[in-house]
Amino acid sequence: MSEQLVEMVDNDGVVRLTINRPKALNALNREVIEALAEILDRLEGREGLRAVLITGAGEKSFVAGADITAMREMNPLEARDFAGQALKTIKRLETLPVPVVALVNGFCLGGGCELALACDWAVASDNAVFGQPEVLLGVIPGFGGSQRLPRRVGPAMALDLCTTGRKIDAQEALRIGLVNQVMSQAELEDYAATLTKQLSGNGPGAVRSAKQVIHDGMDQDLDSALALETSLFALCFASDEQREGMSAFVEKRKPNF
Ligand code: HXC
């Protein structure tokens, strides 16, 4: 296995990223964030990109947070710089034009939970543990969790998690809507394979438009968002994809996108 801090494997345009610092439970330091930013330089604007899956190396941890050892001696300016660098990179991941999915294979704490929250959705192995334990360290979330967590699970649950610092298991994460599905570690691999097949087989432009309309629409009032849906729906009819997809249905064959 290579020693890269973030590994990248491309499978039919579905790119799998693995945060690779297993000895530190894949904790995020500056170097990992920089490695992720370099990969994003390559992914942004890349034709043929269908989806991004992100996971952690090993069977114990997705990401156990920002690197506490590195943060320990930071002054406020350094902390602001570190958080800013990570926030910007995580935002770039979030705004890739294709689905970004977190495969949460273990500890998903602090900055790790914040990374998962920036993904379009997350699925978890049954040994996964979630939490925003920053208050136990005398700080608050700094990679976007204070804003993305309430948007995903509601402000009351976000306040509970961010002020108690309590950890929750995968089943509770499922119940509160933090993850979409829970499965065994082995099933997580099957899930990744199935998702790769689905996302590389669907109309790529339609998949991108579906992400765009949901993301952009969530920031708008309902009427404006519905108008956006109508525009993007109509635009699909200017594409070869729409003709191929509907012709394939009528001709009882598989579409070739
Ligand atoms: C640095 C970490 C780390 C972290 C684990 N390690 N988490 N190093 N930063 N966030 C290291 C440990 O120091 C240890 O290194 C090795 O990984 C294995 O961890 P153990 O603690 O020995 O494992 P275990 O007993 O199984 O406990 C697992 C754990 C625990 C429950 C996940 O490691 C833990 O509580 N980690 C911290 C979780 C956390 O508080 N995350 C939030 C960070 S703040 P050695 O060298 O001893 O083997 C944050 C803020 C984000 O994320 C915003 C910033 C701007």
What is the reported pTM?
A: 0.97
Determine the pLDDT at residue 195: 95
Q: Is 133 in the pocket of ligand 1 (CB under 6 A)?
A: yes
Q: Where in the sequence numbering do the catalytic residues fall?
A: 114, 134
> Do 218 and 112 sit in the same domain of this protein?
no
Nearest to 18 by CA among 62, 51, 59: 62
* Cα 17 from Cα 31, distance rounded (Å): 15
Interface ipTM? 0.99
> Do 156 and 245 sit in the same domain of this protein?
no
> Do 37 and 80 sit in the same domain of this protein?
yes
Report yes or no: 55 and 17 within 8 Å, Cβ to Cβ.
yes
Domain count, the chain: 2
Determine the pLDDT at residue 1: 41
Of all protein residues, whose CA lies closest to atom 16 belonging to ligand 1?
Answer: 24
- The structure tokens 């994809």 sit at 241
Determine the pLDDT at residue 83: 98
- Confidence band for 58, pLDDT divided at 50, 70 and 90: very high
In this model, does residue 162 exceed pLDDT 70?
Answer: yes
Determine the pLDDT at residue 12: 83
How high is the mean pLDDT of the chain? 97
Determine the pLDDT at residue 2: 46
Structural domain includes residue 196: yes
- DSSP designation for 19: E
> Do 106 and 217 sit in the same domain of this protein?
no
Distance 25 CA to ligand 1 centre (A): 7
63: number of Cβ within 10 Å: 31
Distance 125 CA to ligand 1 centre (A): 19
Domain region containing 212: 204-250
> Do 152 and 232 sit in the same domain of this protein?
no
